[in-house]
Amino acid sequence: MIIENRPGAGGNIGTEVVVRAPADGYTLLLATGANATNAALYEKLNFDFIRDIAPVAAIGGGALVMVINLSFPAKTIREFVAYAHANPGKINMASAGSGTTVHLAAQLFKIMTGVDFALIQYRGSPWTDIISGRVQAYFGVIPASQEYVKTGKVLALAVTGATRSEVLPQVPTMDEFVPGYEASTWWGVGAPKGTSTQIIEKLNKDINAVVAEPNIKARLVGLGLQPMQLTSAEFTKLIADATNKWGQVIRAANIKPE
């Protein structure tokens, strides 16, 4: 396998390369949750992700963890929400780029709790400002956040997945405080539209076998990811559901690409 990096436009450049490739199973896309959100985020694309990419297999899902500066007066999600309601607009929440999973997780939290805080976008790492207290909170990806949590440099209030994280088992889920809240991303493999069912089924079987391999599975878990073994039909549904869910958040918050 040759890995060809085609970065840019939130993954749209690399996706279009695969959309235009022969449907022979030899050119594949490492698809991510960004592909699901881009459909609503970008008004003009040269392709339709749902229509033009055939879902092959999932690899894993990744939740976020909401952390706060140690000096912040609230120490639980309930206390954070109460403090935010009492002090509207006075909390600074670090964020990644417009329309990213980190940004959308914070927007969903605002929508579901009715709180108001300022989202401060960072192109680089926000951790220095979080630890120092220049910004008070952050929805961070677990792989990059877990060491700061485990070493006591920040306090983790909740993880955003449907279940607790294996690497941060003591941290509750957001759903335990905000029923129905779930914000995570995923990684998987897609192929150009028109790829035969036989090729997709073979690739699905082989990828699922790799994900189930004990060493690979342990590596994914160690990175804060939840290994996923889905049929191509189940992966198709996951993508459709994510596209619909995050499209509603993007439209409700009037989010535009940078």
Task: Give tens-digit pLDDT for 111-123.
Answer: 999 999 999 999 8
Q: Which of 156, 176, 196 is the last residue of a domain?
A: 176
| Residue 1 located in a structural domain | no
| Residue 67 located in a structural domain | yes
Q: How many percent of the chain have pLDDT more than 90?
A: 89
Q: Kindly state the helix (H) or strand (E) to which residue 95 belongs, with its residue range.
A: strand 92-95
| Residue 132 located in a structural domain | yes
Task: Please choose, from the candidates 57, 21, 53, the residue with its C-alpha nearest in 3D space to the C-alpha of residue 36.
Answer: 53
3-class DSSP assignment, residue 222? helix
Are 123 and 218 in the same domain? no
Q: How many percent of the chain have pLDDT more than 70?
A: 100
Q: Which of 123, 143, 176 is the last residue of a domain?
A: 176
Q: What is the CATH number for 137?
A: 3.40.190.10
Mean pLDDT of 133-158: 95
Q: Which of 132, 161, 176 is the last residue of a domain?
A: 176
pLDDT tops 90 at residue 16? yes
Are 89 and 166 in the same domain? yes
HSE on the CB side for 199, CA within 13 Å? 17
Q: Is the distance from CB of 228 to CB of 61 less than 8 angstroms?
A: yes
Q: Mind listing the pLDDT tens digit for each residue in 42-73? A: 988 999 999 999 999 999 999 999 999 999 99
92: left (phi over 0), alpha (psi -120 to 50) or beta: beta
Backbone φ and ψ of 211, nearest 5°: -60, -30
Q: What angle do CA 112, 116, 118 make, to 5 degrees?
A: 125
Task: Please choose, from the candidates 37, 225, 64, 223, the residue with its C-alpha nearest in 3D space to the C-alpha of residue 137.
Answer: 64
| Residue 258 located in a structural domain | no
Total number of domains in the chain: 2
The Cα 66–Cα 160 span in angstroms is: 8
The Cα 32–Cα 149 span in angstroms is: 25
Identity of the residue numbered 250:
I
Are 229 and 163 in the same domain? no
The Cα 113–Cα 77 span in angstroms is: 10
Are 72 and 56 in the same domain? no
Are 85 and 140 in the same domain? yes
> How high is the pLDDT of residue 44?
87
Q: What is the CATH number for 229?
A: 3.40.190.150
Task: Please choose, from the candidates 237, 118, 115, 155, the residue with its C-alpha nearest in 3D space to the C-alpha of residue 188.
Answer: 237
> How high is the pLDDT of residue 187?
96
| pLDDT classification of 89: cutoffs 50, 70, 90 | confident
Mean pLDDT of 176-183: 97
Calculate the dihedral angle through the C-alpha atoms of 130, 133, 135, 140, rounding to the nearest 10 degrees: 20
Are 124 and 196 in the same domain? no
The Cα 248–Cα 228 span in angstroms is: 25
pLDDT tops 90 at residue 85? yes
Are 71 and 164 in the same domain? yes
pLDDT tops 90 at residue 82? yes
Are 76 and 169 in the same domain? yes
Are 149 and 129 in the same domain? yes
| pLDDT classification of 222: cutoffs 50, 70, 90 | confident
The Cα 52–Cα 22 span in angstroms is: 12
| Residue 257 located in a structural domain | no
Are 80 and 152 in the same domain? yes
Which tokens in the block code for residue 244?
């619909």
Q: Which domain holds residue 225?
A: 9-61+183-252
Q: How far is CA 196 from the centre of its chain?
A: 29
Are 78 and 115 in the same domain? yes
pLDDT tops 80 at residue 258? no
> How high is the pLDDT of residue 9?
83
Mean pLDDT of the residues in the chain: 95
Mean pLDDT of 182-206: 97
